[in-house]
């Protein structure tokens, strides 16, 4: 297979062809949200222009078209993740909702007082707060795999932490602050060995590298569409069929029922019982289009492109005085978090914006990790396949100017 034409691919993103503060836009905030290619924008527009109707319950032509588009998108996501069936895919508003669904539906039924929920110290709030809430409701306890000095997990501690009391083992695939790529398959195997359910936060990985849920051996995996070229408010939760069948609904309403009387209701099988109300149909259509687009490029190629930009950024940041990069040097995703001695992350991000450079400054929804690292936050540059080495070089020049400005 020939290498992707990255220049032609970049031209698919109309938003990148603009100036900010009189400078060409450099968008390095992809870990927060990615940009959308024309193919996704057009798919959403076509849906609203030709097929807009509610799904499943209508007998007219537009409803049939909308239903087909919605369920075709589910099938695409299933293939994209390597799921055994489209019935293992639940559409959500994103990673946060997917994890909350597991914590509320599976956790409320199967987690009890005295049980342990094992997380890591690098979790995004979306993979921490829902488990805190579950622990408060049930009397379960939280336990954490430490983060080592180099930004990787202290896996030598796993044996003492992942004990039979652990009912849930939830962890991120790629850290949104450190860039660390965690050994998901190894963690899932260890969780299953003690009878724990594994939950993977794939927000930073689903659009950046190949993800196969059966190869990973995970029980649940959640991701957000807006971080992989799809619309905001779109995403999906994968769950193994037997687990989904054992879970109660987490929301009640229309669409997720088989029958309703004044006294009681009966519910559909998964995924229907977890999708109460009118869904984000256009978001699902856009997600399906994004899956097609990314598959057309190839996620392995995207990962190699991201990694090359990251390695180039690490080299250029290493040239700047008073700048320290967080996370491992090897085996990392397409983002770089760093601190500059001379400037607070918010001030540095504001300075960069004046030069057309979009970075992210703050705690990145990793407040406990930042407290552990004794930092108020970091500045983060995060890359995607439409970014270039020339943009990384321009970022280095802007940051060099910032070092002089804040000195």
- The residues annotated with a catalytic role in the active site are 365
Closest C-alpha among 118, 141, 131 to residue 188: 118
Q: What are phi and psi of 200, to 5 degrees?
A: -105, 125
Closest C-alpha among 288, 268, 130, 134 to residue 201: 130
Task: Count the Cβ atoms, other than its own, within 10 Å of residue 132.
Answer: 15
Indicate the angle between helix axes 281-297 and 299-317, nearest 10 degrees: 80
Report the alpha-carbon distance of residue 199 to residue 218 in Å, rounded: 7
* Residue 223 · residue 202 · CB < 8 Å: yes
Closest C-alpha among 156, 180, 158 to residue 169: 158
Residues in a beta bridge with 236: 91, 223
* Residue 299 · residue 73 · CB < 8 Å: no
* Residue 215 · residue 84 · CB < 8 Å: no
CA 332 from chain centre, in angstroms, equals 15
CA atoms within 13 A on the CB side of 214: 9
Report the alpha-carbon distance of residue 88 to residue 104 in Å, rounded: 18
Report the alpha-carbon distance of residue 401 to residue 77 in Å, rounded: 44
């Amino acid at each position: 297979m020939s290498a992707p034409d990255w220049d032609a691919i970049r031209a698919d993103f109309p938003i990148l062809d603009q100036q900010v503060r009189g400078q060409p836009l450099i968008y390095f905030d992809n870990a927060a949200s990615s940009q959308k290619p024309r193919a996704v924008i057009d798919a959403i527009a076509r849906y609203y222009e030709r097929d807009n109707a509610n799904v499943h319950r209508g007998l007219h032509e537009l409803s049939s078209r909308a239903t087909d588009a919605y369920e075709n998108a589910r099938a695409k996501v299933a293939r994209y993740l390597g799921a055994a069936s489209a019935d293992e895919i639940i559409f959500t508003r994103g990673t946060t909702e997917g994890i909350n669904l597991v914590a509320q539906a599976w956790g409320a039924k199967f987690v009890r007082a005295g049980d342990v929920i094992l997380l890591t110290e690098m979790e995004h709030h979306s993979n921490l707060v829902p488990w805190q809430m579950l622990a408060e409701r049930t009397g379960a306890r939280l336990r954490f795999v430490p983060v080592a000095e180099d930004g990787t997990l202290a896996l030598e501690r796993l044996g003492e932490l992942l004990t039979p009391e652990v009912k849930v083992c939830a962890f991120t695939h790629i850290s949104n602050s450190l860039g660390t790529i965690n050994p998901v398959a190894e963690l899932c195997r260890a969780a299953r060995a003690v009878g724990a359910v594994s939950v993977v936060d794939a927000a930073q990985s689903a659009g950046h590298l190949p993800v196969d849920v059966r190869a990973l051996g995970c029980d649940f995996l959640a991701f957000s569409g807006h971080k992989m070229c799809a619309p905001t408010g779109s995403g999906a939760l994968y769950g193994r069929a037997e687990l989904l069948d054992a879970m109660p609904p987490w929301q009640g309403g229309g669409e997720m029922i088989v029958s309703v009387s004044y006294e009681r209701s009966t519910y559909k099988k998964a995924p229907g019982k977890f999708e109460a109300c009118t869904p984000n149909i256009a978001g699902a259509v856009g997600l399906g289009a994004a899956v097609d687009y990314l598959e057309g490029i190839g996620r392995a190629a995207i990962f190699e492109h991201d990694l090359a930009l990251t390695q180039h950024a690490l080299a250029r940041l290493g040239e700047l005085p008073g700048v320290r990069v967080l996370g491992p040097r090897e085996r990392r995703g397409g983002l770089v978090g760093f601190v500059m001695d001379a400037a607070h992350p918010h001030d540095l991000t504001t300075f960069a914006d004046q030069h057309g450079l979009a970075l992210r400054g703050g705690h990145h929804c990793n407040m406990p990790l930042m407290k552990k690292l004794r930092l108020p936050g970091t500045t983060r540059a995060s890359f995607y396949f439409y970014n270039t080495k020339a943009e990384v070089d321009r970022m280095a020049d802007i940051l060099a100017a910032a070092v002089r400005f804040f000195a």
